[in-house]
């Protein structure tokens, strides 16, 4: 970015700017695959993961880890955590309610 150099998708992938390269005609299909994977997760866990990522931009590593630990403590005591563990033990898909 600072050099103004234009790079192609392969170079962006190589240096870690993008996670994967998808053919143009498969972009929406791939985006929906990813969205479905996220939707299967606990809504609360997804929300907290976003909070942690956004907060990390303005915190030291030490403060970020403390913040993440606090979020984890809240998540671990949530109804979704209980449902996730119960579903795992019962060998079924969890039914998260966002609580």
pLDDT (tens digit, 9 = 90+) per residue, 56-72? 889 999 999 999 999 99
| pTM of the predicted model over 0.75 | no
**How confident is the model over 37-63, as pLDDT tens digits?**
999 999 999 999 999 999 988 999 999
Question: For position 98, what pLDDT does the model report?
Answer: 66
In the block, tokens 């795992």 appear at 88
Residue range(s) of every CATH 1.10.12.10 domain in the chain = 41-99
- CATH of the structural domain 41-99, one choice from 3.40.920.10, 1.10.600.10, 1.10.12.10, 3.30.1300.10: 1.10.12.10
Q: Is 8 helix (H, G, I), strand (E, B) or coil?
A: coil
């Amino acid at each position: 970015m600072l050099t103004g150099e234009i790079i192609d998708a392969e170079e962006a992938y190589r240096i870690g700017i993008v996670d994967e390269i998808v053919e143009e005609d498969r972009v929406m299909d791939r985006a929906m695959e990813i969205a479905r994977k996220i939707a299967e997760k606990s809504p609360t866990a997804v929300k907290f993961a976003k909070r942690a990522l956004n907060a990390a931009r303005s915190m030291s590593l030490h403060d970020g880890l403390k913040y993440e630990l606090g979020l984890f403590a809240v998540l671990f005591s949530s109804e979704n955590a209980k449902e996730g563990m119960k579903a795992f033990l019962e060998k079924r898909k969890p039914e998260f309610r966002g609580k």
